[in-house]
Amino acid sequence: MSRGRVRRAAGSPVAAALVLLQAAVLALSPGCDAAAVTTDAEPDYREALSKSLLYFEAQRSGRLPYNQRVRWRGHSGITDGLQQGVDLVGGYYDAGDHVKFGLPMAFTVTMLSWGAIEFGDDIAAAGEWHHTLEAIKWGTDYFIKAHTEPFVYWAEVGDGDTDHYCWQRPEDMTTSRKAYRVDKDNPGSDLVAETAAALAAASIVFRGSNPHYSHILLHHGQQLFEFGDRYRGNYDISIAEVRGFYASVSGYRDELLWAAFWLHRATGKEEFLRYAVDKADCFGGVGWAMTEFSWDVKYAGLQVLASKLLLDGDPQGERHRVVLERYRAKAEHYLCACLRLNNGSNVDRSPGGMLYVRQWNNLQYASSAAFLLTVYSRYLAGAGARLRCPDAPAVPPSELLALARSQAEYILGRNPLRLSYMVGYGPRFPAQVHHRAASIVSHKANNRFIGCMQGFDHWYVRKRPNPNVLTGAIVGGPNCRDEFRDDRTNYVQTEACTYNTAPMVAVFARLHNLSATAAEEGCRPGTALGLSAKCK
């Protein structure tokens, strides 16, 4: 494993082997079944929401706007696409590197958009609606650029291998900015379908404030869906360079179903719902019972979307009730597994209560689970329904929300180490985040060029806090024993990714609004979330 090289493929054998090498943790606990240590401090969800949106500004690639709030960042990647004769300036860096990976970027935007659709009022009440739109649009503007022809989409800019051998600020990049594309002869159904989902979801968000832009997004989304469905194949087969970083382990079938449900929601056209119904079996939509939801594995998310049609009493949904009920059963399998009410087939938890899927960047799974729990709780409450679990046939919506809240609390510092895993939030948070730009003196503070190896020799190995605080970033987080080592060489735990933070934007907004309502009504903390006695 060379310096700075990061592999994030879900469940890869390489990742599993490397995890065993992690040692020298910040605090040691007796084992995975030890008792938890907690703090009673009530999180400031509004602050967490505001800071989460700042993080996306720190991850921007391209020419930064005049209203950029993260001032230690500068313009970068301003010639992206030039070699190929296309404009690929913009978009987001996925994590602590400088490659623009299309699949996790699109998932990040889908999650931001889904949160804005479901909890827009909560986001607006916290005064963060404008910043949420900006975060979404920075991604969707780039997706439109990358879709240069109906059956051509630019999947990646930069090469992960060369990038990970180099430790530089994005403003100083000397690594390859080669761009890679998928097309009819080199398909990438998973990537283009996820992008179609992101564009469809975003089109709903912008429908009221910018209908013309919403129409453009939906047009590109429908074209990309047609591209992905007509020319099927995994994008990591067409683009070998992505395999070591974001291999599509789940394949493309989940993304095609995911995109179909989003396009149905955006257009109301039954043809997209029929697609998801007709392919429910052969694409695994009603066959796979999942215990994770992530940038790679979309089944639990699309099963929740399918369930909404039934819970809302949608007329089109009623016409396809038999198949949609099968989708709903799988959605509830995931949610019951999170709640540990699934007849033994459950998601693990750390002693401190963190949902635990795997060692590498585990908080991505906890944050995405918190999102689905929050959303489904709302769907159930709206329908006057309850969750059906093998170990509890009638679980109230408040229990789902309570678990989501516990994950938010854990991330924000209510955990055995009393450490916030959101950078910049609370009195203690990771100071040595594995992030090139944050770990090197700002280009604006010192504009002297820093070379590839110079960055490693002078900045990467420094046992000091990063000079720039990556505010709002949620790092990979602790292991199954709630152990965490704050060291930027410990990329398994200290690297932050956009798809860790994106689901929490809506969760923080919802929890802030509910907590504020409880306070106004004189309730004890958590009452409005169904976590304690009724208000008196």
**Residues annotated as part of the active site:** 434
- Would you tell me how many other CB atoms lie within 10 Å of the CB of residue 152? 16
What is the residue-wise DSSP string for 67-122? T-S-TT---B-TTTTGGGTS-----B--SSS--EEHHHHHHHHHHHHHHHHHHHHH
Residue 322 contacts by C-beta under 8 Å, 6 or more apart in sequence? none
Q: What is the DSSP letter of 524?
A: P
Torsion of the alpha carbons at 173, 178, 182 and 184, rounded to the nearest 10: 160
Give 392's strand partners.
389
> Are 476 and 360 a contacting pair, CB within 8 Å?
yes
Please give the C-alpha separations between residue 22 and each of 26, 62, 82, 495, in angstroms, as whole numbers: 12, 35, 40, 14
Which helix (H) or strand (E) is 388 found in, with range? strand 387-389
CA 328 – CA 302 distance, rounded (Å): 10
CA 185 – CA 444 distance, rounded (Å): 44
Please give the C-alpha separations between residue 464 and each of 78, 430, 468, 472, in angstroms, as whole numbers: 31, 11, 11, 20
Which helix (H) or strand (E) is 374 found in, with range? helix 363-383
CA 24 – CA 415 distance, rounded (Å): 19
